[in-house]
Structure 1
Amino acid sequence: MNYTLNSSPVEREHDEEVENIKAFTHGLCLYFPPFMIIIGSVCNILVVMVMRTVQFRYLSTSFYMCSNAAIDIFSLIVLLTVDWLHTNFPWTIFRGEHAHYMCKFFHFVGATSSDLGIILTAVMTLERGLAIMFPLKSSSWCTVKRARHVTIFLFCFTSVKNANYLFTSDIHTSHESDRLCYVYADTEALSYFWKSVWPWIHNTFLVLSFISIIFSNVIIIRHIRKSDKLRSKSVICHRVSSATTVPHKLMRRSQSRRRQIAIMLLIDSFTVIICTTPFSVYTTVDSNTTFLDGSEYQKAVKHLIASFSFYLLYVNRCANFYLYCLSGSRFRNALKQTLCFCNKEDSLAKKMQLYSSRFQESSEIDTYRHSTLKLDNSAYI
């Protein structure tokens, strides 16, 4: 570290702080992405494997989770790898005559995959809320076929939303910028669009998605609280009258399952909000403001904030596996079965046992619903 002889202690301390920020940012950009690429890809592959098991294959929520995991795998392996190479080894990136087509692809696919992951989470949470509110209709509403159609529609919607990147993206020259690609605004109309119109379009999309996520979670929590009150009433009536045939263990099992779903969706949903908001705020502020003096300290801080908020987007792509393991006992059990090497006879026996237990459990839950409805109606007579 070199200092001039005439520099004051305050200036030296300031220069040292700038160097520390640059060193921290460089370490973050050099070591953190490979860790996320390897760990995130392996974890998302495990999510896809679990969602393809018998326990989850025929659930619409599993299709959404599997789609999200596939998008995350592609983003980590392709998009984040290219960004890491550009940041640390810029000479490895092709910058020839037609390199701008590469940036059009990266900008478009990156923005579309990010938006698709957010809106799929919102739709999945809304679907689970409706399934809990209307359990008798959930079998016709929440199907894999409908989830497939919704996913295709959302992909087309997000593709149209981000189609502008296909016409206005270009590549930076070597060492020109911290980012590989940029969006050019060579006309007054394009400049106005990117600074004043596009931030509002993108932020409106995020706000509506976040409102849908929060609203769905509120519905789930309120319905669970009402169900808890109804169950407590049925327990009291069960103690007084012997006409009720619902076992107390079934009520506790159903209550635990619904709480588990609520916790999983709450953690997953708010993780999306927490990891997505900083980068959206940064891009909005950066597109409408400029640094006053362009000092080295401000440039170093800007680079740190940009890198940190950018990598938060990919942290969200790596975190779903751990969230599912943390909040879902069924996911953990299916993961254990996937990782364990069982013979075909044991696997077939487990499948038959699973089918029979599902049929028995659905019959018990139907009986429980009818009995609780009778109890609830008798309370108002």
Structure 2
Amino acid sequence: MVHDSEKSILCRITDGLDLYFPPFLIVTGVVCNVLVVLVMRSVYFRSLSTSFYMIANALVDTFSLASLLTVDWLNLNYPSTIYRGEHSHYMCKFFHFFGWVSSDSGVLLTTAMTLERGLAITFPLKSSSWCTLKRAKRVTILVFIFVFLKDVNFLFTSDTYALNESDRLCYVYLDSENLKIFWKFVWPWIHNVFLLVSFTAIIISNIIIIRHIKISDRIRQEQQNCSIYKSNECLPETVKTKPASRKRQVATMLLVDSFTVIVCTLPFSIFTTIDSNTVLLDASSGERDWKRFISSMSFYLLYVNRCVNFYLYSWSGTRFREALLFVVCGCKRRRKPPRVVTISYTKGNSCSVHTCHNITQ
């Protein structure tokens, strides 16, 4: 046994990270994801199909934090509390399988949300028939079916480490040459291609969304300039504007969320790919400490991604904050009736602006 005085600084940092960081993630993550579910079920957002994806994602994240990360924390710090008997391999089969399913489903649900928003912007006339709650439920079911088939191998190849044999609880046993080839060469490519396709779809959809938001901001600014200066450079047709809608707020929240998914998911994928083809039997203690530190950091990034959505939505969505206040304390901020600005033209290319109040929300 290595005494604490003999441990390197990097090893002590990793020990502190393993001891204090998971409880913080578990408590804050569960609370924040429950709040996300309540807000998305409020009258502000529940009619949007995107809200259903966010609810499904939050529920998976909550269960993952409460079960998987809790057991992992107990194993790292109090390993004797974990059952390691004759049937413990069934526990690891579930943990390994559900861990990968929850991570992959989070990526796919975010991909589905961004694709839906990108298609709605590209084909606005068809968005009302495409972006429905019924379709969102069907897509969510297909997402879980796909990740089940992708990660089903963990139900057959997972087992439990003996006490003090490893920092981790579960491992993939390779008792045949075919399994070794699959795990070292086939599985990493399957997972990386899956991430590549998902991230590509997210990035392309985000580019479409960002372009749409910029165009909307430019049109809104031109309308404001026209109303203030009555310029001759007004738009050549009657245009109506209104304050930021729920769909615009959701699009902004989705942009931040999707980029966070990429940043938090990619490091663990890279580490897993490299680690599956690397053996450190003759490595120095310093190299092993670095590997353990990088493994912990990339692993916890996956769970950070399952905790930060609430903060991202609160930061990027005005309507989300209003709905949160309504859910938490039942208070609703009084808002002025939205104004509709109509720009019309008379002879001489002069511009007149008429403002009226819309009595409906």
TM-score class, shorter-chain normalisation, is 0.7 to 0.9
Contact kept in structure 1, 2:264 and 2:304, CA below 8 Å: yes
1:44 aligned partner: 33
1:89-120: CA deviations, max 9, x gaps? 00011111111000000011110110000110
Deviation at 1:301, TM superposition (A): 1.2
Secondary structure of 1:170's counterpart equals strand
**Using the alignment, how far apart are the partners of 2:236 and 2:15 within structure 1?**
70
Contact kept in structure 2, 1:224 and 1:258, CA below 8 Å: no
Deviation at 1:74, TM superposition (A): 0.3
Contact kept in structure 2, 1:105 and 1:166, CA below 8 Å: yes
Secondary structure of 1:182's counterpart equals strand
1:264-309: CA deviations, max 9, x gaps? 2222111111111111111110111123622211111111111111
2:98 aligned partner: 109
Deviation at 1:48, TM superposition (A): 0.5
Q: How many residues are aligned here?
A: 340
Deviation at 1:199, TM superposition (A): 0.2
Instruction: Please identify which structure carries the higher helix content.
Output: 1
**AA in 2 matched with 1:312:** L
Structure 1 stretch 141-150 or stretch 231-240: which is displaced more?
A: 231-240
2:142 aligned partner: 153
1:164-202: CA deviations, max 9, x gaps? 001111000001111100001111110000000000000
Contact kept in structure 2, 1:47 and 1:69, CA below 8 Å: yes
Secondary structure of 1:288's counterpart equals coil
Deviation at 1:261, TM superposition (A): 4.5
After superposition, the Cα gap between the structure-2 partners of 1:47 and 1:246, relative to the gap in structure 1 and judged at 3 Å, is same
Contact kept in structure 1, 2:246 and 2:319, CA below 8 Å: no
After superposition, the Cα gap between the structure-2 partners of 1:186 and 1:246, relative to the gap in structure 1 and judged at 3 Å, is same
1:135 aligned partner: 124
Match among 26, 32, 55 for residue 15 of structure 2: 26
After superposition, the Cα gap between the structure-2 partners of 1:330 and 1:306, relative to the gap in structure 1 and judged at 3 Å, is same
Contact kept in structure 2, 1:18 and 1:300, CA below 8 Å: no
Deviation at 1:263, TM superposition (A): 3.6
**Using the alignment, how far apart are the partners of 2:263 and 2:286 within structure 1?**
27
Structure 1 residue 287 corresponds to structure 2 residue 301: no
Deviation at 1:134, TM superposition (A): 2.5
Deviation at 1:260, TM superposition (A): 4.6
Deviation at 1:23, TM superposition (A): 1.0
Contact kept in structure 2, 1:18 and 1:296, CA below 8 Å: no
Match among 295, 304, 307 for residue 306 of structure 1: 295
Contact kept in structure 1, 2:160 and 2:169, CA below 8 Å: yes
Secondary structure of 2:171's counterpart equals strand
TM-score (norm 2): 0.85
**Using the alignment, how far apart are the partners of 1:214 and 1:237 within structure 2?**
35
| Alpha-carbon RMSD | 3.0
Structure 1 residue 94 corresponds to structure 2 residue 71: no
Deviation at 1:226, TM superposition (A): 3.9
2:46 aligned partner: 57
**Using the alignment, how far apart are the partners of 1:321 and 1:197 within structure 2?**
36
Percent identity, please.
60
2:198 aligned partner: 209
**AA in 2 matched with 1:181:** C
Contact kept in structure 1, 2:249 and 2:319, CA below 8 Å: no
**AA in 2 matched with 1:36:** L
Secondary structure of 2:58's counterpart equals helix
Structure 1 spans left out of the alignment, 5+ residues: 4-14, 372-381
Counting only pairs closer than 5 Å after superposition, residues 152-231 of structure 1 correspond to structure 2 as: 152-228=141-217
After superposition, the Cα gap between the structure-2 partners of 1:191 and 1:64, relative to the gap in structure 1 and judged at 3 Å, is same
Secondary structure of 2:307's counterpart equals helix
**Using the alignment, how far apart are the partners of 2:142 and 2:100 within structure 1?**
16
1:64-86: CA deviations, max 9, x gaps? 11111001100000000000010
**Using the alignment, how far apart are the partners of 1:305 and 1:104 within structure 2?**
24
**Using the alignment, how far apart are the partners of 1:46 and 1:95 within structure 2?**
36
Structure 1 stretch 193-202 or stretch 218-227: which is displaced more?
A: 218-227
Contact kept in structure 1, 2:111 and 2:202, CA below 8 Å: yes
TM-score (norm 1): 0.81
**Using the alignment, how far apart are the partners of 2:224 and 2:84 within structure 1?**
71
1:375 aligned partner: none
**Using the alignment, how far apart are the partners of 2:134 and 2:160 within structure 1?**
40
